[in-house]
Structure 1
Amino acid sequence: MLYYYKLFWMNGLNLKGRSRRKEFWYPELMTFIISLVASVLNYIIPIPSILAIIIYWIFTIATYIANFSVSVRRFHDLGMSMLFPIIFFIFGIILGVTNNYIAEINTGSFLYTLFVIIGVIYIVMCIISLAICCTNGSKKENKYGKDPKEI
């Protein structure tokens, strides 16, 4: 499992080629475990909030970039282009940046309705992405390279 996490960070900016399901899911599991442990430690050990925020943002940005690249390679494994991951991650960034401001918007306004629609679209895209990332890759060579199980 640690091998795939190391591979996840080594290929963090690689958008070419294909990746197996293991290359996608083991780093997701490790990121979840690290986030959980960090949250517990942050609760137990009192550290300055500015330091916790800086560490959080560095980890989040690095993980977000690496998740994007492995998602692109996972879609390549199925013979799909990187258009869906680009749109998916743009929606995620929009919702992440505006998350703190949604509570302050009047619920009857157009902007609130727009954010709700974007949120629903994002949830649907999450389900689609999850289904795609759980699917077996194509066993034949495609335009993105050979089957990663053969390499």
Structure 2
Amino acid sequence: MLHYYKLFWLNALNIKGRSRRKEYWYPILMNFLLSIVIGLSTYLLPIPSILEEIVGWIIYILLTIAMFTATVRRFHDVGMTMLLPIIMFIGTLMDDLSELVNLNITTNLHSFVYIILIIAAVIYLVIAIVALVICCTNGQQEVNKYGRNPKNS
């Protein structure tokens, strides 16, 4: 498992090539376990909140970029383009920006904006479920336009 986590960070900026399911799912498991450990340590240790926020955002940005590239390589292994990962990445960025920016919306536009946001959230959820299914499927056994099968390498 540590081997695949090392590969995850070595290929953090690589969107070319293909990734096996193990190269995708083991880093997700490791990131989940590390987030639990980091969360417990920040709860137990007296860390200044500003330092916690800065380090948290840096880790979040690094993980988001690395997971985006891993998802792209996983889609390449299945033989698909990087369109869905780009849409998901933009959706993640939009969600993060909406949390950072607090817009004052007039009452006339208030319900309209919420309806648009709900529709966008449903579309994003459908895309995320489709991407999850794609990331769980077997890669193409033969060579595709993104390279050789990493399982045979």
Shorter-chain TM-score bucket reads over 0.9
State the one-letter code of the partner of 2:150. P
The 5-angstrom pairing of residues 1-151 of structure 1 reads: 1-99=1-99, 108-151=110-153
Distance 1:60 1:20, change over 3 A: same
State the one-letter code of the partner of 2:147. G
Q: CA deviation at 1:119?
A: 1.4
Q: CA deviation at 1:109?
A: 2.1
Q: Specify the SS of the correspondent of 2:16.
A: coil
Distance 1:100 1:119, change over 3 A: farther
Q: CA deviation at 1:104?
A: 7.4
2 CA distance for matches of 1:24 and 1:124? 20
Q: CA deviation at 1:99?
A: 3.3
TM-score (norm 2): 0.92
In structure 1, the gaps of 5 or more residues are none
Question: Are the equivalent residues in 2 in contact too, given 1:102–1:112 (CA < 8 A)?
Answer: no
1 CA distance for matches of 2:103 and 2:36? 26
Which range moves more in the overlay, 140-149 or 116-125? 116-125
Q: CA deviation at 1:88?
A: 1.2
Question: Are the equivalent residues in 2 in contact too, given 1:18–1:76 (CA < 8 A)?
Answer: yes
State the one-letter code of the partner of 2:37. V
Q: Specify the SS of the correspondent of 2:99.
A: helix
Distance 1:6 1:49, change over 3 A: same
Distance 1:38 1:76, change over 3 A: same
State the one-letter code of the partner of 1:52. E
2 CA distance for matches of 1:14 and 1:38? 26
The alignment of Structure 1 onto Structure 2 pairs a total of residues equal to 151
2 CA distance for matches of 1:102 and 1:33? 32
Q: What is the identity percentage for the equivalent residue pairs of Structure 1 and Structure 2?
A: 52
